[in-house]
């Protein structure tokens, strides 16, 4: 994988295939502090769930993350609890009430949300946005990390160093 | 014994009355009740998800339709997991309170186990040991059931559930939602082409992976768009469906052969897929193995299967304690 730090502390990474997407998630999972909120966006098949599986490995979760599209929410126990949400099936902000996201945000946990646009009103002030896009070649993906808040800028610096960018 | 079953683990709020774990006296889902009553044919998603508002209504309807009073109920059973914690707590707390208040025993049920018992409702002579493939929007589980209450998970999905892959591919191909039935319909007009993925990375295991197949369809769609060619929707649907069915059959019937299984079941929403049913029937017949599949209304989430599972659980292990918690992620070790 190749990556570079861009303006305002954002990080742009190009991965060659699925294994590198998972590996990037693994690296991030290893350094995440408690109280982290990740907003994962991108088309179907762009690697969000695979990246989260890497996160779960990096967090030493008791199981590898699988898609929560149907269940809406999966929780894993590990170095830190991991809440993996997928709001693909929700279409209105009121429907997010069933998730209990407010309580989850009070915990010292890691929260990763896919298709989270519908729950924007529940996002904390600081969070890390991760955008997944298809690359030029079929297996290639471009993954862009956008920090919202100083703690996430520092986290991305650490991630860039860890990946050797 | 009459068992009142309660199901609230995901989208559906359901209640049912089942006699001796086999005979359905009533089987009510809020989505259907609402459809006929309040909303004139349209089910707002929000209403379908608000278990708290619906549970009393649905339970009343289940007792009425069965023509029984609460007094005649011998056991109250409810799903205790896996599922969304909010919904689970509503059903579980309601069932416990009802049991306590009316001096009935209570029993907690594993939702995945309940899917297996859907088959016991439809086929009176069915008995373990057996192998069951549960395939739905949320599950792809290959389970060996040695006896009532005794299970071994042989394999499950490493990424997307089979039904989820159907839904997402249907969306990519511009078909309707829920994707399963629409994709199957489209596939009937098409011809399966060359495989989307040539290597089975999980070959030799009983686990499944469908995310790569989904991405392979998306890649093909991108290629057609780039070349400004018309999308062969029916052929892509047929190719995808064939490959999913092939994987499901390979895992299941390899287990049948290796474990010497004599009875094989399908359950879950994807069990409604005609190609999958046909494939199961064909492979089972070739091995002289008995094959069972529930009718469509028992394939998807419902409370009758919860009542049936509760009955057999109770016969074997007695009631569950009233402090039984909800298990958002439930292992099969529960109440063994």
Using a CB-CB cut-off of 8 Å, the residues of chain B touching A82 are none
Determine, for residues A49 and B160 on separate chains, whether the beta-carbon distance falls below 8 Å: yes
A vs B: CB pairs below 8 A = 74
B152, β-bridge pairs: B144
pLDDT band at B30 (very low <50, low <70, confident <90, very high): confident
A134 touches chain B (CB under 8 A): yes
Report the run of H or E that residue A2 belongs to, with start and end: strand A2-5
**Mean pLDDT (whole number) for B27-51:** 57
Nearest residue on chain B to A62, alpha-carbon basis = B329
Which of A53, A75, A98 is opposite residue B329, by nearest beta carbon?
A: A75
pTM for the full predicted model: 0.90
A19 touches chain B (CB under 8 A): no
Beta strand pairing status for A127-134 and A36-42? parallel
B132, β-bridge pairs: B143, B265
**Mean pLDDT (whole number) for A62-83:** 92
Predicted pLDDT of residue A91: 82
Predicted pLDDT of residue B11: 80
Give the gap in angstroms from C-alpha A154 to the nearest C-alpha of chain B.
31
Predicted pLDDT of residue B333: 55
pLDDT band at B331 (very low <50, low <70, confident <90, very high): low
| CA separation, residue B291 to residues B199, B279, B333 (Å) | 29, 11, 26
Give the residue, B17 or A88, on which the prediction is more confident.
B17
Instruction: Please identify among residues 42-101 of chain A the ones whose CB lies closer than 8 Å to any CB of chain B.
Output: 43-45, 49-50, 53, 63-64, 66-67, 69-75, 90-92, 94-95, 98-100
Instruction: Report chain A's C-alpha Rg in angstroms.
Output: 15
Using a CB-CB cut-off of 8 Å, the residues of chain B touching A44 are 168, 171-172, 214, 218
What's B71's DSSP letter? G
Give the residue, B96 or B34, on which the prediction is more confident.
B96
**Mean pLDDT (whole number) for B95-121:** 96
Determine, for residues B158 and A73 on separate chains, whether the beta-carbon distance falls below 8 Å: no
B84 touches chain A (CB under 8 A): yes
Domain annotation for chain B: domains and CATH numbers: 2-118+298-335 (3.30.420.40), 128-294 (3.30.420.40)
Predicted pLDDT of residue B292: 97
Domain annotation for chain A: domains and CATH numbers: 2-163 (3.40.50.300)
pLDDT band at B37 (very low <50, low <70, confident <90, very high): very low
- Tokens in use for A15? 């991965």
Q: What does the alpha-carbon distance between residue B138 and residue B210 come to, in Å, rounded to a whole number?
A: 12
Q: Is the ipTM value over 0.90, yes or no?
A: no
- B295 pLDDT higher than 50: yes
Determine, for residues B46 and A44 on separate chains, whether the beta-carbon distance falls below 8 Å: no
Q: What does the alpha-carbon distance between residue B252 and residue B243 come to, in Å, rounded to a whole number?
A: 14
Q: What are B228-274's pLDDT values in tens digits?
A: 999 999 999 999 999 999 999 999 999 999 999 999 999 999 999 99
Answer yes or no: are the C-beta atoms of B235 and B224 closer than 8 Å: no
Mean residue pLDDT of chain B comes to 91
Give the rounded percent of residues in chain B with a pLDDT score beyond 70.
93
Using omega within 30 degrees of 0 as the cis cutoff, is the peptide bond preceding B82 cis?
yes
């Amino acid at each position: 994988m190749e990556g570079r730090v861009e303006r305002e502390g954002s990080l742009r990474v190009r991965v060659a295939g699925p294994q590198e997407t998972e590996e990037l998630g693994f690296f991030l999972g290893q350094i995440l502090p408690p109280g982290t909120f990740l907003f994962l966006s991108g088309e179907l098949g762009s690697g969000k769930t695979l990246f989260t599986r890497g996160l779960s490995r990096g967090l030493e979760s008791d199981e590898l993350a699988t898609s929560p599209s149907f269940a809406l929410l999966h929780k894993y126990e590990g170095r830190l609890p991991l809440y993996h949400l997928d709001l693909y099936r929700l279409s209105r902000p009121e429907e997010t009430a069933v998730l209990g996201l407010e309580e989850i945000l009070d915990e010292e946990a890691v929260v990763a949300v896919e298709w989270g646009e519908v729950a924007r009103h529940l996002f904390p002030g600081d969070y890390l946005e991760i955008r997944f896009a298809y690359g030029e070649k079929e297996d290639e993906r471009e993954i862009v990390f956008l920090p919202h808040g100083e703690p996430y800028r520092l986290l991305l610096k650490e991630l860039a160093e860890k990946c050797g960018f | 014994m009459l068992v009142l079953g309660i199901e609230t683990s995901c989208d559906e709020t359901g209640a049912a009355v089942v006699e001796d774990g086999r005979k359905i006296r009533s089987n009510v889902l809020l989505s259907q009740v609402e459809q006929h009553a309040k909303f004139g044919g349209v089910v707002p998603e929000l209403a379908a998800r608000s278990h708290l508002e619906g549970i009393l209504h649905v339970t009343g309807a289940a007792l009425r339709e069965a023509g029984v009073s609460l007094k005649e109920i011998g056991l109250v059973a409810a799903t205790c997991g896996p599922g969304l914690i909010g919904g689970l707590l509503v059903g579980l707390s309601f069932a416990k309170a009802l049991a306590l208040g009316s001096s009935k025993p209570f029993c907690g049920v594993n939702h995945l186990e309940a899917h297996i018992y859907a088959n016991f409702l439809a086929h009176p002579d069915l008995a373990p040991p057996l192998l069951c493939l549960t395939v739905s929007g949320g599950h792809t589980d290959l389970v060996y059931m040695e006896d009532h209450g005794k299970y071994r998970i042989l394999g499950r999905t490493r990424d997307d559930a089979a039904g989820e892959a159907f839904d997402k591919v249907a969306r990519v191909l511009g078909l309707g939602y829920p994707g399963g039935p629409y994709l199957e319909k489209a596939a009937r007009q098409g011809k399966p082409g060359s495989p989307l993925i040539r290597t089975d990375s999980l070959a030799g295991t009983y686990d499944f992976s469908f995310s790569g197949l989904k991405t392979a369809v998306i890649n093909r769609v991108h290629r057609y768009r780039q070349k400004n060619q018309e999308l062969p929707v029916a052929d892509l649907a047929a190719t995808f469906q064939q490959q999913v069915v092939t994987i499901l059959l390979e895992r299941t019937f390899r287990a049948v052969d290796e474990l010497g299984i004599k009875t094989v079941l399908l359950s879950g929403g994807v069990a409604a897929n005609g190609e999958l049913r046909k494939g199961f029937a064909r492979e089972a017949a070739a091995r002289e193995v008995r094959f069972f599949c529930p009718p469509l209304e028992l394939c998807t989430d419902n409370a009758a299967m919860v009542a049936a599972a509760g009955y057999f659980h109770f016969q074997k292990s007695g009631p569950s304690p009233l402090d039984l918690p909800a298990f958002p992620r439930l292992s099969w070790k529960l109440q063994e």
